[in-house]
Structure 1
Amino acid sequence: MDAITNLITAINAQVWGVPMLVMILGVGIFLTFGLRLMTILKIGTGFKLLWAGRASKTEEAQQGEISPFNALMTALSATVGTGNIAGVATAIFLGGPGALFWMWCTALVGMATKYAEAVCAVKYRETDEDGNHVGGPMYYIKNGLSHKWAWMGTAFAIFGAIAGFGIGNTVQSNSVAAAMQSSFSVPAMLSGLVMMILVGLVLVGGIKRIADVAGKLVPLMAVFYVGSGLLILGMHITDIPDAIGLIVTSAFSPVAAQGGFAGAAVWAAIRFGVARGIFSNEAGLGSAPIAHAAAQTRNPVNQGLVAMLGTFIDTIIICSITGLVIVVTGVWQSGETGAALTSSAFASTLPGVGDYLVAISLSIFAFTTILGWSFYSEKCVQYLFGVKAIIPFRILWIIAVPIGATGSLEFIWLLADTLNAMMAIPNLIALLLLSPVVFKLTREYFAAQAESTKKSE
């Protein structure tokens, strides 16, 4: 077992190493400029489409299973998770406040990656034998590229199917159990069983039930957590300019050891800011387009504009709230890390309440991640084995929840984290090869929009 662990550790160091981070950022930068900064300039358009896409229009309803709004909420349910609370804190602990700046940079170019993923997902999606729309990297590799690339789609599906049980299931249920036990003295087994029942009730209804739950729970949890964070920032409003100044300067100059902080070089800020940013918003990993492929839309670009908001909301809004609270309260120098650091930041301004807010937020974030990733892994399994594998998969997924809540997950986390990164390799290659299609569809869409506006005037 030690030999296997050492092997996977070595692979993990490579797949999450500098080449991977450069590849993810490089593809994001290439797509951002290939789209002429459209993903940054059209954020307002994306939010308008998101608001308009809350309910399905009759003619669009036949083009997918869930509304564009719920497609984004499903993707966000899997994306907004422990990375937004524990991941940001870990990045600041290891890389200093400057890590948050590099998370922002990662998000800005990651929006183009997420846009391209969703455009390809809708463009190359299929209808399965049950009449449901299915898509994602495995489908746009199979249908968008020549048959010699088909093996990459299979590889992605294998990595996604296995990784989900770790990063999207057992690791999440373990985080919930730990938070409930430390804050409310709830036994881990009880947390696991309750989550198993709740997850089972949602999964019975498939993507429509998952999307309905996500459409209600994700906005609620985001408002709850962001609202709490904004309250703390409001109480430290005079410290915010200095905090932002510290974040920017620390991104380009070393941070000396102070308090319990061990100090960090500029490279550490870049490395951990980029790595934790990618872990949080999943831009480039290829998971979110699986949800967007089920959206009720005829136009790939429409869904792409909605999809890119996932990265904006996850990192620019939610991760920024976490990071700013940690910096303005000064607890980043305490020597704590992970969720404990975020809890300390909230509790320092809201004593007796703050740590409970973080525990509840972490639990809800992790629970919705289990729901979102169940759909991702299910579609990967379906791609490999067909619709007959869906029910057995859901049973295994539900059983894994309490196992994760009560188990020791060091090896599972290592394996899942490694496979999660390996999902990005075939996805990023496919996005580069399909980028001319993305650019063409985008040009045609906005040319048609401009023509329509001209005629109406």
Structure 2
Amino acid sequence: MTPAPSSLQTILHSIDSFVWGPPLLILLVGTGVYFTFSLGLIQFRHLPTALKMVFSKSSNTDSKGDVSAFAALCTALSATIGTGNIVGVATAIKLGGPGALFWMWLAALFGMATKYAECLLAVKYRTTDDKGGMLGGPMYYLRDGVKSPLLATLFAVFALGVALFGIGTFPQVNAILDASEVTLGADRTMAAIVLTILVAMVTLGGIKSISRVAGKVVPTMAVIYVVSCLGILINNADQVLSAIELVIVSAFTPTAASGGFFGASVMLAIQSGIARGVFSNESGLGSAPMAAAAAKTDSCARQGLISMTGTFFDTIIICTMTGLALIITGAWQSDLAGAMMTTHAFAVGLNADVLGPILVSVGLLFFAFTTILGWNYYGERCVVYLFGTKAILPYKIIFIALVFSGAFMKLDMIWLIADIVNGLMAVPNLIGLIALRQVVVAETKLFFDKSLAMKTATQQS
């Protein structure tokens, strides 16, 4: 007998709570802790070097790869900087209180080491398809490094599910259409048609087209959003230190109920902060390595360092800005939730009832659009692994059709399924990272020894 929809939803809720429960969160953060110490605090010691690499052109123009290292980072960021930075932060603080932001920071700091490791492995074990394009990601280091085709296939199936039925389509489409309907007064059906055409125009051009658009849109929108948040912090400069103090204190003490906030225990702050932090920056989930593998580079460690900055930009900068804006303006204590809570914070913080909501809506529009593009590429990489390059065009047609249909779908059940599959992606990937930990350590030592030798030789000459 088939369970009634309500029963099925209850079952899915139970599965989701288990998948994203303490075991996975401990494994995700624990992997980050292991790589942090085994790599000598790489994300703290070498972040300035990594940031310098991001904004400087590589001298090795003949390196193998499809796109520049910066374009590969922007493609990965296009998938991670999305609704999670606007809606996810609001959800975490609404549930766990201001202390949730501290645990987002902690997850991100350790997550940077995980992101470094997985993107290093993606470049080390990458290969080429029959058209000469780069193939890489967890599927390949699980198959060729761990020697487990089963884990590789499981990862590809889970990631394809996320691309087609989860983060890659429906939630982003709904975020775009809701924002365009509320702020711009656009007709939902017409907006869906325009969005579908734009997605088709970009994605049919492949990684070079996606990275070209992402390379322009992601930095531009991130700067506009961060500057807008800075405007709120500057307008309320006298409250910034007390907001940071509230974040740190609330991370270790229960937050009392106030206004529309129902109160939260320390455990709830930890769980909501870490879960939303991981959901936002995707460190350890295995998505970013698929973009990193396309980078033009002759050093897997160098690309690992560049990719590591993605988590820094996503969570330490953008999520922090959103979180502080929500706390300083008191929006977290309102009866509002999600995007509406962030919109309220911008309206109050900028003293602009019209401009504030427009900035949040435009941010949502562009962040969600680039997330669709990034996940389209991730899904394509999984399709190539599972079915070969001949399946790329059919996949893209299905993906584009799902983008259009997302405008007319109920999201409750889909969000649950997407959340479950998204969490399941992490399991084979983390197994791969732990199994190949010595490879990561050896490649890192080789890179820094070589860099030191070159620096010494230059100084002597």
TM-score using structure 1 length: 0.97
Structure 1 distance, partners of 2:413, 2:59, is 43
Q: CA RMSD in A?
A: 1.1
- For residue 161 of structure 1, what is the aligned residue in structure 2? 160
- For residue 151 of structure 1, what is the aligned residue in structure 2? 150
Give the deviation of 1:260 after TM superposition: 1.4
Give the deviation of 1:184 after TM superposition: 2.0
- For residue 265 of structure 2, what is the aligned residue in structure 1? 265
Give the deviation of 1:181 after TM superposition: 1.2
- For residue 97 of structure 1, what is the aligned residue in structure 2? 98
Any conservation in 2 of the 1:56–1:67 contact (CA below 8 Å)?
Answer: no
- For residue 431 of structure 2, what is the aligned residue in structure 1? 429
Structure 2 distance, partners of 1:169, 1:137, is 22
Any conservation in 2 of the 1:188–1:406 contact (CA below 8 Å)?
Answer: no
Say whether 1:137 aligns with 2:132.
no
Any conservation in 2 of the 1:103–1:274 contact (CA below 8 Å)?
Answer: yes
What whole-Å deviation, never above 9, does each CA across 1:394-451 have from its counterpart, x for those lacking one?
A: 0011111121122212111111111010000000010001110000000111111111
- For residue 9 of structure 1, what is the aligned residue in structure 2? 13
Any conservation in 1 of the 2:102–2:248 contact (CA below 8 Å)?
Answer: yes
- For residue 61 of structure 2, what is the aligned residue in structure 1? 58
What whole-Å deviation, never above 9, does each CA across 1:230-254 have from its counterpart, x for those lacking one?
A: 1111111111010000000000001
Give the deviation of 1:213 after TM superposition: 0.5
Say whether 1:208 aligns with 2:208.
yes
Structure 2 distance, partners of 1:213, 1:411, is 31
Residue among 363, 371, 390 paired with 2:373: 371
Any conservation in 2 of the 1:71–1:211 contact (CA below 8 Å)?
Answer: yes
Any conservation in 1 of the 2:60–2:297 contact (CA below 8 Å)?
Answer: no
Structure 2 distance, partners of 1:418, 1:139, is 23
Give the deviation of 1:65 after TM superposition: 0.3
Say whether 1:449 aligns with 2:448.
no
Percent identity over the alignment is: 49
- For residue 108 of structure 2, what is the aligned residue in structure 1? 107
Give the deviation of 1:375 after TM superposition: 0.3
> What amino acid sits opposite 2:452 in the alignment?
A
Give the deviation of 1:150 after TM superposition: 1.6
> What amino acid sits opposite 1:338 in the alignment?
G
Structure 2 distance, partners of 1:331, 1:267, is 22
> What amino acid sits opposite 1:402 in the alignment?
F
Structure 2 distance, partners of 1:376, 1:56, is 28
Any conservation in 2 of the 1:99–1:273 contact (CA below 8 Å)?
Answer: yes
- For residue 317 of structure 1, what is the aligned residue in structure 2? 317
Give the deviation of 1:349 after TM superposition: 2.4
SS, match of residue 449 in structure 1: helix
Structure 1 distance, partners of 2:285, 2:247, is 27
Say whether 1:224 aligns with 2:224.
yes
> What amino acid sits opposite 1:456 in the alignment?
T
Give the deviation of 1:56 after TM superposition: 7.5
- For residue 334 of structure 1, what is the aligned residue in structure 2? 334
Say whether 1:380 aligns with 2:382.
yes
Structure 1 distance, partners of 2:451, 2:367, is 37
Say whether 1:45 aligns with 2:46.
no
- For residue 360 of structure 1, what is the aligned residue in structure 2? 362
Which sections of structure 2, spanning at least 5 residues, go unmatched?
A: none
Give the deviation of 1:168 after TM superposition: 1.1
Structure 2 distance, partners of 1:359, 1:379, is 31
- For residue 409 of structure 2, what is the aligned residue in structure 1? 407
- For residue 242 of structure 1, what is the aligned residue in structure 2? 242
Moved more, 437-446 or 403-412: 403-412
Any conservation in 1 of the 2:325–2:349 contact (CA below 8 Å)?
Answer: no
What whole-Å deviation, never above 9, does each CA across 1:176-235 have from its counterpart, x for those lacking one?
A: 111111222212212211110001000121000000000011001101111111111111
SS, match of residue 62 in structure 2: helix
What whole-Å deviation, never above 9, does each CA across 1:25-75 have from its counterpart, x for those lacking one?
A: 11111111111101221111011111124x774322xx0000000000000
Runs of 4+ more than 2 Å apart = 1-10, 55-58
What whole-Å deviation, never above 9, does each CA across 1:253-296 have from its counterpart, x for those lacking one?
A: 01111111111111111010000000000001000000000000
> What amino acid sits opposite 1:87 in the alignment?
G
Which sections of structure 1, spanning at least 5 residues, go unmatched?
A: none
What whole-Å deviation, never above 9, does each CA across 1:76-95 have from its counterpart, x for those lacking one?
A: 00000000000000100000
| Number of corresponding residues | 452
Residue among 23, 28, 37 paired with 1:24: 28
Any conservation in 2 of the 1:125–1:134 contact (CA below 8 Å)?
Answer: yes
> What amino acid sits opposite 1:407 in the alignment?
M
SS, match of residue 168 in structure 1: coil
TM-score using structure 2 length: 0.96
Give the deviation of 1:5 after TM superposition: 3.6
- For residue 195 of structure 2, what is the aligned residue in structure 1? 195
